[in-house]
């Protein structure tokens, strides 16, 4: 017969409960299984002492008197994203717009809000006019005491085209169309204080030398700031030469109350087809922005083609072709 060991030997850590009562007697646990108490130090029995009173009165500065300083951020990591890193200072400053710039901005915005502007383009072969300028430059300088430029050729060609297409020289005035039998060409000039457009009046009566003299006088007035209101008042057509700054192509904005503006651009040598052969020619893109309310596309394209033919071959003007 096999004897069973006592119950206390099989389950040495079993908790024994009495059948009656609420108290329970547990078998003691080992030291490794007991939780470790957290030691926080003794509990204070009195409040902490108050902070010391400053010996001198505390000065306060109003928020409005505080001037913000630009924060300087230095990038210390070489592996940081260069598109999001900022180095050095980032400041802004506000400058009041001068009255001339305000007037220019107002007139340009009025032109966009009023006119139905459309731009057409063409290109001009400058070979002949450059050859004419080079051939007669010395004689022209000796006779008229000024150099022969390209602006006089374009002003003369524009006058020739305006007389051929008088609607481009006209303007809308309420329900009427006003046609002019004279041509006053506004020439855009970059002055120190902004863009100005002095007027060459009665350009239809001028030759190349007269146009060059008028442009020289007006340009000198613009550079010295001595232009009067009368010098910029009026004008029936505007020529803007962005090519002097290297502009290759652009869409000029009409100078109100005019109906069209011609944009000249840089002269660049390009390969072109001439009589079935590829040749390198000095070419210029020209742009005509016009008021489509008054000028149809046909008149605008024919006008620009007339300028092209008169610049490429000035004999067209002499023969009235």
Q: Which active-site residues does the annotation give?
A: 292, 296
As a whole number of angstroms, the distance between CA 16 and CA 5 comes to 18
As a whole number of angstroms, the distance between CA 246 and CA 251 comes to 14
Pairing of β 176-178 and β 171-173: antiparallel
Place of tokens 């731009």: 119
In 10 A of CB 223, how many CB atoms?
A: 13
Sort 261 into a burial class: Cβ within 10 Å, 0-12 / 13-18 / 19+. buried
Give the single-character DSSP code of 65: G
> What torsion, rounded to 10 degrees, do the Cα atoms 263, 265, 269, 275 define?
0
As a whole number of angstroms, the distance between CA 296 and CA 305 comes to 15
**C-alpha count within 13 angstroms, C-beta hemisphere, residue 90:** 6
Pairing of β 185-187 and β 199-200: antiparallel
Q: What is each CA distance from 15 to 24, 88, 192, in whole angstroms?
A: 8, 74, 102
Q: Which residues pair with 191 in a beta bridge?
A: 194
Structure tokens at 57: 């009165």
Cβ 184 vs Cβ 254: under 8 Å: no
Cβ 316 vs Cβ 309: under 8 Å: yes
């Amino acid at each position: 017969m096999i004897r069973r060991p006592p119950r206390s030997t099989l389950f040495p850590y079993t908790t024994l409960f009495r059948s009656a009562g609420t108290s329970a007697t547990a078998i003691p646990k080992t030291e490794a299984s007991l939780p470790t108490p957290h030691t926080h130090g003794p509990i204070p029995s009195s409040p902490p002492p108050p902070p010391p009173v400053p010996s001198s009165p505390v000065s306060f500065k109003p928020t409005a008197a505080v001037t913000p300083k630009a924060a300087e951020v230095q990038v210390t990591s070489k592996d940081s994203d260069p598109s999001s890193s900022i180095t050095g200072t980032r400041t802004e400053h506000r400058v009041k717009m001068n009255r001339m710039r305000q007037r220019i901005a107002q007139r340009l915005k009025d032109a966009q809000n009023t006119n139905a502007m459309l731009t057409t383009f063409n290109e001009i072969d400058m070979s002949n006019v450059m050859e004419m300028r080079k051939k007669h430059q010395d004689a022209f300088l000796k006779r008229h005491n000024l150099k022969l430029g390209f602006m006089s050729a374009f002003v003369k060609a524009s006058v020739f085209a305006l007389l051929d297409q008088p609607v481009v020289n006209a303007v809308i005035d309420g329900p009427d169309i006003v046609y002019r039998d004279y041509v006053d060409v506004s020439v855009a000039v970059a002055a120190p204080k902004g863009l100005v457009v002095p007027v060459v009046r009665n350009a239809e009566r001028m030759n190349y030398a007269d146009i060059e003299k008028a442009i020289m006088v007006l340009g000198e007035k613009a550079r010295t700031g001595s232009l009067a209101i009368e010098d910029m008042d009026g004008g029936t057509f505007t020529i803007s030469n962005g090519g002097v700054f290297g502009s290759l192509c652009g869409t000029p904005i009409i100078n109100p109350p005019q109906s069209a503006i011609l944009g000249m651009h840089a002269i660049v040598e390009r390969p072109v087809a001439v009589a079935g052969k590829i040749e390198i020619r000095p070419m210029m893109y020209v742009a005509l922005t016009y008021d489509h309310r008054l000028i149809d596309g046909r008149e605008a394209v024919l006008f620009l083609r007339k300028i092209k033919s008169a610049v490429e071959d000035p004999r067209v003007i002499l023969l009235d072709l």
